[in-house]
Amino acid sequence: MDIIFHKDFDKSLEKFPPKTRKKVRKVLDTFHDNPHNPQLDNHALHGYLQGFRSISEGGDLRLIFLQEDNYDRVKFYLVGSHSQLYE
């Protein structure tokens, strides 16, 4: 799986404390091993984010991405709390 990060993802991630960034890296490792791991709550989004998917770090933090070719290529676009991303 080829994972790419949009510049907005990187900017958003830098705003979080080191402990949160560490959790995100752990979630990304889990995702890389198995994007359908039940702990990630991988699901399709609707509305203005239709076509995108979301995974969870286990708390309120969400990572928004697009996948291509059955997860051969994944691009992460946004990271933030539920309320930050779904207003």
pTM of structure: 0.90
In the prediction, which pLDDT does 58 show? 77
Domains in the chain, number? 1
Q: 16-31, pLDDT tens digit by residue?
A: 999 999 999 999 999 9
What is the domain-level CATH number for residue 29? Answer: 3.30.2310.20
**For residue 55, what are its two tokens?**
């995974």
pLDDT at 86: 77
Q: pLDDT 10s digit of each residue in the chain, 87 long?
A: 999 999 999 999 999 999 999 999 999 999 999 999 999 999 999 988 999 999 998 788 999 999 999 899 999 999 998 888 877
First to last CA, the chain: 31
Which residues form the domain of 46? 2-82
Type and span of the H or E element at 69: none
Task: Judge whether 87 lies within some domain.
Answer: no
Beta bridge partners of 64: 54, 78
Task: Please enumerate, as own/partner, the contacts of 14-23 that have beta carbons within 8 Å and a separation of 24 or more.
Answer: 16/79, 20/61, 23/57, 23/58, 23/59, 23/61
